[in-house]
Structure 1
């Protein structure tokens, strides 16, 4: 099933879910020994002080904050103030009618047009108004129709189609 990308763009990024390849920083106010900066592996499990192994893939930053707050509250700290930030997003991938297809570091508010520029620009036969994005939405890989002005997300696979003349 192919659907339009604009319907999911704003809603999905407001609730950005962590995935393999994201670099996150977890800090607890006043507790330097509880600061962790790590890249999520393929399985998405990190070892956090006092809590052991926790799986973060599929969680939002707010959900991770709540999970760590709950684990530390009471036994270790009276009122922990936990902060989780995404330091570096997982890469996106672009192929099709671009000069240098491959994986590239994600940057917020990245449009298809900007992604193509990172990939060396469009080829002569590119049709920037015909783009296919494969995006993981709620654990399901979904094909989205897009144009050069649509926004992409970390982990997206962008395919720029060719024109036929």
Structure 2
């Protein structure tokens, strides 16, 4: 039952792409309509911050793209622009990691609708001695690290660490 609750929390927290929370390693594009000097692409640094003209350093970790657009709009409003129209989009998601019994372990850029079977394919497929069922995912949910048993249909999120165990038979 506890596992089901964790899965529901994970699903509901990522069910909508607009609910995606920005984090270190994400690359984003910020566009301010009719202001080419304020349009930029930037990668979120390890401390969860970006630098933006006129606003200096902004803490963006944990914000959605809509929340960040509103934060930038409020910062530019009045002193710099009368009615700034700001949009934020994700250019490249932070990676997920896969190790253990796959042909090419490592970190790979996250993609929308990524499931464990697709992640294994990205990593070159299962190695000869890989278990067909012993797959685990380490994930941070609401600030806590959880270990999940996974199957081919399990949804993969950015920052997930996938472990493909070795088969004993």
Task: Report if TM-score (shorter chain) is over 0.5.
Answer: yes
| 1:138 paired to 2:138 | no
> How many residues were matched structurally?
164
The match for 1:39 is 43
1:51 equivalenced with 2:55 (yes/no): yes
The TM-score, its normalising length taken from structure 1, stands at 0.90
Q: Which residue of 2 aligns with 1:78?
A: 82
Q: Would you tell me which structure has more strand in proportion to its own residues?
A: 1
CA RMSD of aligned residues (A): 1.8
Q: Compute the TM-score of the two structures, normalised by the length of structure 2.
A: 0.88
Distance 1:110 1:155, change over 3 A: same
Alignment partner, residue 65 of structure 2: 61
Structure 1 gap ranges (5+)? none
Q: What corresponds to 2:121 in structure 1? A: 117
For the residue of structure 2 that corresponds to 1:104, the secondary structure is: strand
State which drifts further: 77-86 or 7-16: 7-16
Match of 1:89 among 87, 90, 93: 93
Query: How far 1:42 moved relative to its partner?
Result: 0.7
Asked if structure 2 preserves the Cα contact closer than 8 Å seen for 1:27 and 1:82, the reply is: yes
Shift of 1:101: 1.0
Hey, which of these two has a bigger chunk of helix by percent? 2
Q: Shift in Å at residue 6 of structure 1?
A: 4.0
Task: Look up the SS of the partner of 1:33 in the other structure.
Answer: helix
1:151 to 127, 152, 155: 155
- Structure 2: distance between partners of 1:109 and 1:9: 14
Query: Which residue of the partner structure matches residue 162 of structure 1?
Result: 166
